[in-house]
Structure formats: structure tokens, C-alpha cells
Amino acid sequence: MRPFTYERAATAKDAAARAARTPGAKFIAGGTNLLDLMKIEVETPAHLIDVNGLGFDRIEPTADGGLRIGALVRNTDLAADMRVRRDYALLSRALVAGASGQLRNKATTAGNLLQRTRCPYFYDTNQPCNKRKPGSGCAAIGGFSRPLGVIGVSEECIATHPSDMAIAMRALDATVETVKPDGTARSVPIADLHRLPGTTPQIETALDDGELITAVTLPKPIGGTHIYHKVRDRASYAFALVSIGAIIQKDGSGRVAVGGIAPKPWRVEAAEAAMPGGARAVADGLLAGARPTQENGFKLTLVERTLGAVMAQARA
Amino acid sequence: MKFDTPATTNPIDRLKVVGKATDRIEGPLKTTGTAPYAYERHDAVADPAYGYIVGAGIAKGRIVSMDLAAARAAPGVIAIVTAANAGKLGKGKFNTAKLLGGPEVDHYHQAIALVVAGTFEQARAAAALVHVHYARTRGNFDLAAAKSSAQPPKAGGIGGKPDTAVGDFAGAFAQAPVSLDATYTTPVHSHAMMEPHASIASWNGDQLTIYTSNQMINWSKGDVAATLGIPAEKVRLISPYIGGGFGGKLFVRADAIMAALGAKAAGRPVKVTLQRPLMFNNTTHRPATIQRIRIGAGQDGRITAIGHEGWSGDLPGGGPETAVNQTRLLYAGPNRMTATRLAVLDLPEGNAMRAPGEAPGLMALEIAIDEMAEKLGMDPVRFRILNDTQVDPEQPSREFSQRQLVECLRLGAERFGWDKRVAKPGSVRDGRWLIGMGVAAGIRNNLLMKSAARVRLDSHGIVTVETDMTDIGTGTYTIIAQTAAETMGLPLDSVIVKLGDSSFPASAGSGGQWGANNSTAGVYAACMTLRDKVAQALGLNAADVDFADGQVRSGNRSIALGDAARSGELVAEDGIEYGDLDKTYQQSTFAGHFVEAAVDAATGEIRIRRMLAVCAAGRILNPKAARSQVIGAMTMGVGAALMEELAVDTRFGFFVNHDLAGYEVPVHADIPHQEVIFLDEEDPISSPMKAKGVGELGLCGVGAAVANAVYNATGVRVRDYPITLDKHLGRLPTLT
């Protein structure tokens, strides 16, 4: 871990402004991912801006019947909130499927969205990795790629986004609220928050330098059956091989977002039209253009079969 | 004490303390965090500097240059040790690769430098500033690709013979009406113990003391001396508490040697722990295997031919994974062969991990037996019982000292409800789950090793045991206390046990499940000598003295034990040594493992529902600790069956998933229900304790029992471990 300077931000605007003008600055909230990465020098921020004191730790109703989740709401608190459990059960279920109780107690809403990939080559500074060291190459392609991405990936990077929570938020059409260094606020649909790697896998989000997430807003509840089905090699405390976040209505229509397969929460709205037709048709739409490796091609079958189980569960 | 004839009745047989389920005497220290582990010996070393190891960034090649300038100039840095300034180093008898690499690099994450600084954070930050330029050379990293170049390993040692043959295997196999020829693979496993390797080294002149975490104090004392080129009597190792080892701490590793070198360079004590991401490639692992098994049987189910060939790889000078050895002993059959072949691989050093040989060997063999039973249309429990042998199949004149495998299988089948198993695979559904049951036999040999101890009696009647034996979380403290209490006729709390110090008499150490039987036998021997001294001090005839209830009784006299030490502490030192009872008899332990597994019909995810182990392993010294050993081993077997694999990058030559997020071991949610039954057994041929070992037996066969349960659930046979969902997903029934 490299030595760094540290400060506590007083306001969101101040935090964003200072982050934009301080070279190598990073925000820190729960620190459950950032500190691990700093210890092995995958992340080497020169300056940390602690945002824990900014007060974004409330969950409040919005004027149009939705819910506004402060960026600093801890994963445990969010999963346990009665309004979330009642109206956005998918979110609650996705959260408790992730990490461990200890980590969820510390991890924040915004931090969860911004966590880095768990690609093992990203974690080993001896190995080439375009995300960690742009232009160095991708060791995962042609290497141990079983856990990695099958769609939305590029010649430069096949890393996945590891979040469970983000899958639910994508299915729920969440909106990310931010403050920019100049103090202006903006709203980013969650679909647009994460970028595909293309030739620049080191750029992971649509956020500007210094731009700070202040909240995530959920629209009015849409009802339906909420299912989060996470498939993994052990029963707990493991990242998803594949996860399905689904909201399915009585008439068989619905929404599906998929985790464990792509650099961002994967949802193809057009594919959802096929839901009454069964899992195969939806999976075909979701996975069109997939480019798996020899080791992770099973994920295509797994998406379809897991989705089939989810749809059957919703019917039951 | 020489043990060369079977034991008769002795003081241990009273079983007032031995054989009772007993809480660990050091348990409260561990549960309250007050047992000091190696890295935490603040009590012994007040102000150590901190060392941080730099691991090689390539698998094979040469260090062209190392730029230490930035690291040297970093805050707090006291010294940097590399091969260039460490002086001439030897290599330990039990090490294959050097513990400090450079300029040649032998494997990925081999230690190539130690940065010593005032704080851990300073050392870590400075270590990242060491810039190394390498010249890579090509290496062999792929066992499957190297298989054809594999050679018979050197004969001898625990590994046994590279080739064995009895009768006419080829002829009998060719003629067998029912036969199987199948190949199985097991991946590289990591010990992944909770406590990483850790040491604090302190020099006092030319005298070196290392507080460390090590299973085999006497071996390792010699290897520290050999590596550093100093006399063994100048080395003291102290390792009273060990946070798991599983064979990964049988040997001196880089933490101890680099701490010693760092302390010398810094001129003050230095502590070093291996950072978790370094452990998987820096230390040893259980090598991967490829195993071919051929079995021929008559229509009556009797095995006529059994052959087992195993391939593994290691660095030059290393040894094989002896995966075929149990096949020489487990089942009858007149025509037999085994072959062990070793390829050169430039991966990190392979070595022992819990039940080396048998663990991966039985993972393959006991699937093959299941496959044969199915081909014969015979229940797999019945097939195993039918082919039981009470003698060494290679030398029928040689009997097993005890062999209750059939009893383990019969009792296990009854308790597990085996009669409810449906033989046709893929027939049982419970909602979304496919349900199956599996069985496997377990065998693990009982190894005899000499072991010594010193016992002291004070005037309060307190007995203190001193031996360099280690407790790696197994319960050694407690069984040694039980042994001394039983032999001296004392309650458990009148015994103090001191372990893991090389200044104590040399013990068998902890490994190969030999620790419990041998170390307690050594303590028994020392206590018997102490009894003689007590009798002498009290002017009694040792032959007719009884030790019970803290008293020494002879005729109608009863004297408090402590009175024997009234005029000064009584000290006795003795040990157990063995004759050839392990040659005249085959000494082994046996188990029947039963597993019920559920497979998600949609996703192929495998979840264990319940497990049972029935073990026959001689006298069980402490049923509570033994049960803990066995359920831990069963858990490890589930890991091996379903998830544990160090993924090899065959291009860059390293284990990729080198942390505990990537190398998955079972969590609580994976292990819902486990039961253990110990058969009532004494083995008077093993030692005066009539005990054997259980810690590895608990693992032997578990993986195959899981695999067979999964097959019974799905009808899809997977022969490549771990059985992850991708290996059967495409062959599971189509969803409706």
C-alpha cells in the first residue's frame, strides 16, 4: 500500500471539487473493496476523500411514489428496509445473496455499484491487464477464464462486474443521482452508468472526474413476483457464475437482468418481449452476440436453464 | 521403551481419563484469543522489525537485475535481503526448491527478497518499490502435456515402489467378463489453512531462536540449520500453537528462513508472515493427478484383476503424488498392478497435504469401484464387502493388525438408510432437486514413528509433560494430558502439557495421522519410567505399585504422589521405539463414508444434504477431538469433490486463483449435517496406546462418496474433479 493523504469531506460539492482537482484522489466510503486493492497496489490513490460524513444515509419516499436511497446506506440496512422488502423484494434478495454479513454491514450503496471486477488477473500485478495497466494486454483471454464474461466483452478485457445489488437495480430501472465538481446535479439511468470495455477497459463508468454519487432512486413499484436466483460453486460467500434478477407479472410478461456474464448488469429490454414464449427465446435475445471462451461457454446454457427455473418458479 | 510385541493389559486400559470425550485443555486460550500464535509473540520479542517478502513474478527464468534503490530509500526501511547479499545458503532435506530464489527463479512467487522496515506498512510499501527485470525461460506447466515424458520416480521412502505386480494382470483383465478401464483426474489442492506461515526470528550471538508455526519441530530444526549453514544445536524452534497445517507446515518455509536472514541483516528480531496471495504459489500444494484404473471381475462380482496407474508432476528433484498405494491393500484380487510416474513440472513445489496419496487416490479408485458395481448390477456396498480381504493381497501371509472395513460399511449402510437408495440413477426427485446417495470406502495406513517426552513430578503432585510434539488444532495437548493423567493415576487438571519447543525431547510430530498414537505412546513410555522413579523414591517395589486417585498404593500403604518429589522434582525422559510389527502386520485404519447429495435440476448446482462416516481406527483417545478431526476432514472432502482447484495458467506457469476469494473451500452453508461413528476397536499391535490415527482417515474416500452420490442423483458420471456444475450441466435432463 502506498502512503496517501486523507481528508473528510464536508459537503458533496466540496468532495467532488476536491476530488477533481487533486491528482490521484479517490472517494472512500465502506472501503470493503478499495482497501483490499490498495494493499496489493492494484489501486494506488495518492489521496482519499472520506465521504462517510455527508449524511446520505437515509431511505426516503419520492414524490412520484418511488424510493430514494442515499449513497451511504449500508447494504445490510437497505436489504432490511421494510419498504424495500415489500415493494422491491428483488433488491433485498440480491443484496443478501452477496458477500457476507460483515461486508454488507460496511459496504455502501454507491460503493457496491462502483466496485471493481474480481478477475484474478486484475488482482495480480505481475500479470498483464488492460484494466489495471492500459495497453499491457489481457492475460485472462486464453487463461483461466471460467468465472469471466461472455457478452459485452472485448478483445481487450473479459472482466465481469461482480455486483448482485446492481442486477436488481438494473431490473428495477433505478436512476443514479450525482453531484459534479461544479456543484451541478445530474441523473444517470443505471443502464448508462457502467460502460462496456471496448478498447478502454480502464474506464468503467460514465461518471466524470470527481463526480460523486449521492443517491439511487427507484421508480414507483411495479408489483409482480420478484426472484433473484444466484448460481455459484458454493452455497454462500461466492461470486455468481450466473445470476438472474427477474420481475415477472401474472400475465407472464416481465423484466430480466443477468449477473456474472458481462462487464455491467446485463439487460436487453427487447428480449423481454419474448417472456411469454419461454426461457429459450429470452436467453437467445439476451445472449445474442455472446463471445464466450472455451472455459466459460457453459454460462450460456446456464443462463437459459436458470431463467427457465425462475420463470417456472414465478408461474408456481 | 521398545515396542516390539503386541501390547497386553497396561495402565491405559483403565480408561478413567483416556477414551473419554474431553474438552480441549487449551480451548479457553484459543476461544478467548489469548493463545499466542507465532506472529503474536509480543511476550517473547518486544520490538521486532517487520519483514515483507517479494515473490518472483515469473515461473521460470532468471533475475537479470534488481533495482533496490527506491525501496532502500523508502521510509522506515532497515535492510533488504536478496540472494545477492544473503551469503551462501544450503537447502533443507525436506525442501525441493530453494526458499530464497535468485538469480535463478524456480517457481512463481518464490521468495526473491525480504524488505525489513520499522512497521509492517512500511515494509509492504517498500517491497512494492523493488523493481525486478527477468529473463523468462520456457517451462513445463501442463501435467496432461507432460504425461508422456513422465518417468518412474526413485524407489523408497513413504512413496513406496514405482511399480508393483502380482499374478498376471494383463491376462486376467483381458479375460474378465466384466471390466472397466477409466481415467480420472484430480486438480492441484492448497492447504489453505487459516493461519498463514509466520515466524519471528531472533539472534543472540550465533544462537538463533525462531517462533514459528510448524508441524515437525525436529525435522525443521535440522532444515533451518542446513539452510543457514549453522550447527543444529544453535537453532531453537518454538511453536506451541498452530492455526492449521494440513501438511503445509511439515517443512521449513520462506517465512522462517527469511526472518532469520532479515534479523541478521537488521541486527534485531524480525517477524515475517506470508501474505495470503503469496501462499498458494510460494508454499507447497497437493499435486494434480491423472489416474487410470482398470478392474476386471467375474459375473459373481469377485475382482480378478485390478490395476491403478498414477501420473503427477513436480519440480526437478521432487517426488510423486502416490495415488496408487491404497489400491495395493484395499480389495482382494489375485492379479494386480500399480505404477507411479512422475513428470517434471516447473510449477511450485508439490508435497504432502492431508492424506497424501490416499486422498486423491481414493477419489479415483472409489468412483471406479462404484462404476464396476453398476456394471455388475450389484449394490456398491455389497460389491465392496464381497471383495474385502483380511490379508495383504500382495503377501497373503501378512495379516492386517485390525481390519473392520466390512463392519464400517454394514453399520454405515444401516444407520444411513442405504436401503432407501434407488440403484437406477436419476430416479429420485424432491421438488427442483435430483437426489442421490453415494458410498465409498476409506483406508489410511497407521505409521509408526519414534517419539520421546520428558515428564516432571513436583511435590504438589503436578505432572508436567515436555515434548516437541505439536498441536496443529487437532487436540494433541488434551490427549497427551489424558495419557499422562491415566498413567500416573491423576485427574486431568493435575497435568500440565508443554509442546512445540525444540529444546524438549524429539517427538513424532504432527503429520500423516501418526501424531496421536506415537506421541501419546512416547508420553506413556516416559510416564512408566517416572512411575519407576516414584516407586524408588518412596522405597516401594515398582512391580506391585498402583497409581490411582493421586495416590501411590502398595499393599495397604497409600501415599500422595507428590510426596515422591518432596525432596526435589522427579524427572524422567523416555520414548517409544518400534520393532517390526508394522512389517509383520499391515497396520491401517478404515472407514465407510456415506453421502446424500442434491443436484439442482436446472442449474446443476450440487449441495450436500447429509454425511456419515463410520471409522475403525483403534482406540479413540478422545472421542470429542477425534470427531472434530473427522468432521473437519469430511468437510475438506466435500471441498475436494465440489470446488477446490488451484487453476493452473499453463502459459505463465502459476496458480491463478491465489487467494481465498478465488480458491473456494466449503462454508457453513455447504455442510448441513454430519455424523461420525467410531467402532469400538483396540489395536494392541499398533502401540501400548492401542490407538491409531483418524485425522486423515476422515478425508479418505469422502470425495468419491460425494461423486457417487452426485452420479446416483443425475446419471451423469463426472471423472474430473472438482465436480462443478459446468461438467454435467449439458448432460442433465432437459427442463420441461
Write out chain A residues lying below 8 Å of B604, CB-based.
302, 305
Please report the ipTM that was assigned to this predicted complex.
0.97
Domain ranges of chain B: 2-35+448-578, 39-138+195-281, 393-446+587-731
Residue type, B260: A
CB contact under 8 A, B668 and A236: yes
Q: How far is CA A243 from the centre of its chain?
A: 12
Q: Identify whether the C-beta of residue B460 lies closer than 8 Å to the C-beta of residue B431.
A: no
pLDDT of residue B29: 97
Q: Centre a 10 Å sphere on the Cβ of residue B125 and count the other Cβ atoms it contains.
A: 22
Chain A residues 140-169 within an 8 A CB cutoff of chain B: 142-144, 146
> Mutate which of A37, A126, A129, A261 to disrupt the B interface (most B C-beta within 10 Å)?
A126
Tens digit of each residue's pLDDT (9 = 90 or more) over B473-522: 999 999 999 999 999 999 999 999 999 999 999 999 999 999 999 999 99
pLDDT of residue B156: 65
Q: Identify whether the C-beta of residue B259 lies closer than 8 Å to the C-beta of residue B51.
A: yes
Rounded distance between C-alpha atoms, residue B27 and residue B675, angstroms: 22
The pLDDT mean for chain B works out to 97
Q: Identify whether the C-beta of residue B643 lies closer than 8 Å to the C-beta of residue A239.
A: no
Residue type, A24: G
Nearest to B128 among A41, A121, A233 (CB): A41
Tens digit of each residue's pLDDT (9 = 90 or more) over B118-171: 999 999 999 999 999 999 999 999 999 999 999 999 876 656 799 999 999 999
pLDDT of residue B487: 98
CATH ID of A225-315, from 3.30.390.50, 3.20.20.120, 1.10.287.3240, 3.50.50.60: 3.30.390.50
Domain ranges of chain A: 5-52, 225-315
CB contact under 8 A, B605 and A231: yes
Write out chain A residues lying below 8 Å of B658, CB-based.
120, 124
Write out chain B residues lying below 8 Å of A234, CB-based.
642-643, 664, 666-667, 669-670
Query: What is each CA distance from B121 to A3, A7, B49, B50, B55, in whole angstroms?
Result: 9, 20, 11, 9, 17
CB contact under 8 A, A234 and B667: yes
What region does B443 belong to: left with phi over 0, alpha with psi -120 to 50, or beta?
beta
Distance from CA of B124 to the nearest CA of A (A): 7
CATH ID of B39-138+195-281, from 3.30.365.10, 3.50.50.60, 3.60.20.10, 3.60.60.10: 3.30.365.10
Q: Identify whether the C-beta of residue B590 lies closer than 8 Å to the C-beta of residue B403.
A: yes
So what's the architecture of A5-52 in CATH?
2-Layer Sandwich (3.30)
Long-range contacts of B544-551, Cβ-Cβ distance < 8 Å, separation of 24 or more: B546/B489, B547/B11, B547/B487, B547/B488, B547/B489, B547/B490, B548/B14, B548/B489, B549/B489, B550/B461, B550/B489, B550/B490, B550/B491, B550/B494, B551/B489
Q: Identify whether the C-beta of residue B78 lies closer than 8 Å to the C-beta of residue B158.
A: no
Q: Centre a 10 Å sphere on the Cβ of residue B495 and count the other Cβ atoms it contains.
A: 27
With a cut of 70, say whether residue B636 has pLDDT above it.
yes
Q: Identify whether the C-beta of residue B249 lies closer than 8 Å to the C-beta of residue B282.
A: no
CATH class of B2-35+448-578: alpha beta
CB contact under 8 A, A2 and B656: no
SS3 B656: coil
* B165 DSSP β-pair partners: B337
Distance from CA of B726 to the nearest CA of A (A): 6
Report how far apart the first and last C-alpha atoms of chain A are (Å, whole number): 52
Mean of pLDDT values over B603-622: 98
Which distant-in-sequence residues (6+ apart) come within 8 Å of B642 by Cβ?
A: A233, A234, B606, B608, B666, B670, B706, B722, B723, B724
Write out chain A residues lying below 8 Å of B75, CB-based.
3
pLDDT of residue B158: 59
Rounded distance between C-alpha atoms, residue B291 and residue B365, angstroms: 9
Distance from CA of B667 to the nearest CA of A (A): 7
Q: Identify whether the C-beta of residue B718 lies closer than 8 Å to the C-beta of residue B707.
A: yes
Rounded distance between C-alpha atoms, residue B549 and residue B546, angstroms: 10
Domains B2-35+448-578 and B393-446+587-731 share a fold: yes
pLDDT of residue B160: 76
Joined together, the cell numbers standing for residue B355 give 492424506
CB contact under 8 A, B735 and A1: no
CB contact under 8 A, B667 and A123: no
> Mutate which of B656, B657, B706, B720 to disrupt the A interface (most A C-beta within 10 Å)?
B656
SS3 A191: helix
Residue type, B78: I
Is A244 exposed, middle or buried, given 0-12, 13-18 or 19+ CB atoms closer than 10 A?
buried
Q: Identify whether the C-beta of residue B87 lies closer than 8 Å to the C-beta of residue B305.
A: no
pLDDT of residue B282: 98
Q: How many A/B residue pairs have CB atoms within 8 Å?
A: 100
pLDDT of residue B698: 98
Question: Residue B53: what are its φ and ψ, rounded to 5°?
Answer: -85, 135
pLDDT of residue B734: 86
CA nearest to B75, candidates A49, A43, A1, A26: A1
| Average pLDDT per consecutive 10 residues, chain A (316 residues; last block may be shorter) | 95 97 97 97 98 98 98 98 98 98 98 98 98 98 98 98 98 98 98 98 98 98 98 97 98 97 98 95 98 98 98 94
Helix (H) or strand (E) holding B80: strand B77-82
Single out the catalytic residue among B26, B371, B374, B696: B696
CA atoms within 13 A of residue A38's CA, in its CB half-sphere? 20
Tens digit of each residue's pLDDT (9 = 90 or more) over B69-123: 999 999 999 999 999 999 999 999 999 999 999 999 999 999 999 999 999 999 9
Q: Please confirm, yes or no, whether B696 is among the known catalytic residues.
A: yes
Write out chain A residues lying below 8 Å of B730, CB-based.
298, 301
Rounded distance between C-alpha atoms, residue B432 and residue B430, angstroms: 6
pLDDT of residue B155: 74
Nearest to A301 among B277, B651, B729 (CB): B729
Rounded distance between C-alpha atoms, residue B566 and residue B458, angstroms: 7
Nearest CA in chain B to A120: B657
CA nearest to A261, candidates A281, A278, A245, A280: A245
CB contact under 8 A, A235 and B647: no
Chain A residues 93-132 within an 8 A CB cutoff of chain B: 118, 120-121, 123-124, 126-127
Tens digit of each residue's pLDDT (9 = 90 or more) over B206-264: 999 999 999 999 999 999 999 999 999 999 999 999 999 999 999 999 999 999 999 99
Q: Centre a 10 Å sphere on the Cβ of residue B145 and count the other Cβ atoms it contains.
A: 13
Q: How far is CA B662 from the centre of its chain?
A: 22
Find the chain B residues whose C-beta atoms sit closer than 8 A to any C-beta of A: 57-58, 75, 121, 124-125, 128, 277, 432, 600, 602-605, 607, 642-643, 647-649, 651-652, 656-659, 661-662, 664, 666-670, 724-726, 729-730, 732, 735
Nearest to B603 among A1, A237, A306 (CB): A306
Rounded distance between C-alpha atoms, residue B629 and residue B692, angstroms: 13
Nearest to B667 among A229, A237, A305 (CB): A237
With a cut of 80, say whether residue B537 has pLDDT above it.
yes
CATH ID of B393-446+587-731, from 3.40.50.970, 3.30.70.270, 3.30.365.10, 3.30.420.40: 3.30.365.10
Q: Does A4 touch chain B (CB under 8 A)?
A: no
Tens digit of each residue's pLDDT (9 = 90 or more) over B379-395: 999 999 999 999 999 99
Percentage of the residues of chain B whose pLDDT score is greater than 70: 99
pLDDT of residue A220: 98
Q: Centre a 10 Å sphere on the Cβ of residue A280 and count the other Cβ atoms it contains.
A: 14
CB contact under 8 A, B652 and A40: no
Write out chain B residues lying below 8 Å of A301, CB-based.
729-730
Q: Does A27 touch chain B (CB under 8 A)?
A: no
Is B574 exposed, middle or buried, given 0-12, 13-18 or 19+ CB atoms closer than 10 A?
buried
Rounded distance between C-alpha atoms, residue B537 and residue B553, angstroms: 13
Burial track B447-466 (b if 16+ CB lie within 10 A, e otherwise): bbbbbbbbbbbbbebbbbbb
pLDDT of residue B736: 65
Q: Identify whether the C-beta of residue B214 lies closer than 8 Å to the C-beta of residue B252.
A: yes
Distance from CA of A143 to the nearest CA of B (A): 6
Report how far apart the first and last C-alpha atoms of chain B are (Å, whole number): 70
pLDDT of residue B472: 97
